[in-house]
Amino acid sequence: MKLGVLDQSPIGRGEDAVVAFKHTLELARAADRLGYSRFWVSEHHDTTGLAGSSPEVLLAAIGANTSRIRIGSGGVLLPHYSPYKVAENFRVLEALYPGRCDLGIGRAPGGMPLASIALRNGAPKPPEERFPETLRELGAYLESGPPLGPEHPLAELRATPRVGTVPEIWLLGSSGYSAAVASRMGAGFSFAHFINGYGGQGAVWDYLRSFRPGPLGTMPRVNACVFVICADTDAIAEREASSMDLRLLYNEKGEFGRPFPTAEEAAAYPYSEWDRARIADNRKRMIVGGPDRVRKALAAFADSYRTDEVIVTCIMSDFRLRMRSYELLAELFDLKGR
């Protein structure tokens, strides 16, 4: 099984964005060395706990700090942007790092409503039915699909720089909608199990059953992304997971400005019955444990998604524990030997 990384550049307690990006680059170098398949970075806006607001800029630095691993966006939030500009950004990245770039595309807002308004320069949110058309335009500018028809007002436009390779294009989603669009457009599909612990396997099955070549690709590609907390023992992992439990709970209560909680804070928190029910439900988005437990759980997770590649995201209260989690996973699945 192949493992990739989704890194959201989390800002730890007592840290700032400068430290968060240093950690992202250190983690990217480690993932490259350890044999991970991909290193994706996310896009979030007006979010105090996550530093990554511009994946394209961050990917340029990650590419310069790595030599083998595929690098990509997890993902660019296309409804906010011109497909032409997105194509140019990724043509630049593909020219810098040929054959290593993934363009992962999402539809989520990526932040609070004011950030969405600012990103669109006050323009209204595009209607849902516009999304496939925008993807076709993107494919035309990247030359992964047919050019825009002669009746299109931008039919003669070409995105620069001109390069001989094209990024792999993935649609990212936490529901069946993105899977259905990906299957019609020929894109790869990555299910965000770390966002929604329900329905992903069915969405992937529908994608594989319905896939046909299109403007974004010719072959089906599937992976799924899940929170993983792996430590040297089950006890250490569970202690660390309690911090993540509380972080997700804070987010559900709209308390986004809080720093990442410590295990002590999690142990002392006065949980209500509703809180405990939400924590139990959120654990469906996570794989937690020592090496033996995690190896079995990840293998079963991959089988359930009919894929040989899982994207893991390890967010922990201490960067050293986060790095150790990725090191243990690489050892468990012999990533260097692949």
Domain membership flag for residue 282: no
283: which DSSP letter? Answer: G
Sign of the CA dihedral running 32, 37, 43, 44? negative
Q: Report the number of distinct structural domains present in the chain.
A: 1
Lowest-pLDDT range of 59-68, 73-82, 257-266, 294-303: 257-266
Percentage of the chain with pLDDT > 70? Answer: 100
d(CA 225, CA 221): 14
- Judge whether 246 lies within some domain: no
- Residue at 13 is within a domain: yes
d(CA 203, CA 178): 9
What is the spatial distance between Cα 42 and Cα 311, in angstroms, rounded to a whole number? 13
C-alpha angle with apex 91: 147 to 143, nearest 5 degrees? 20
Prediction pTM value: 0.95
332 domain-assigned = yes
Of the candidates 186, 258, 194, 269, which has an alpha carbon nearest to the alpha carbon of residue 224? Answer: 194
* Mean pLDDT to the nearest integer, 6-14: 93
- Note whether residue 72 is domain-resident: yes
Phi and psi torsions of 192, nearest 5°:
-85, 75
Local confidence band at 315 (pLDDT 50, 70, 90 cut-offs): very high
In a domain, 89, yes or no: yes
Peptide bond into 257 cis (omega under 30): no
Average pLDDT over residues 202-206: 97
Within-domain flag for 262: no
Tokens of 51: 């530093």
CATH of the domain at 185: 3.20.20.30
How many residues can be counted in the chain? 338
Asked if residue 169 belongs to a domain, the reply is: yes
pLDDT band for 338, please (50, 70, 90 cuts): low
Domain around 39: 2-228+291-337
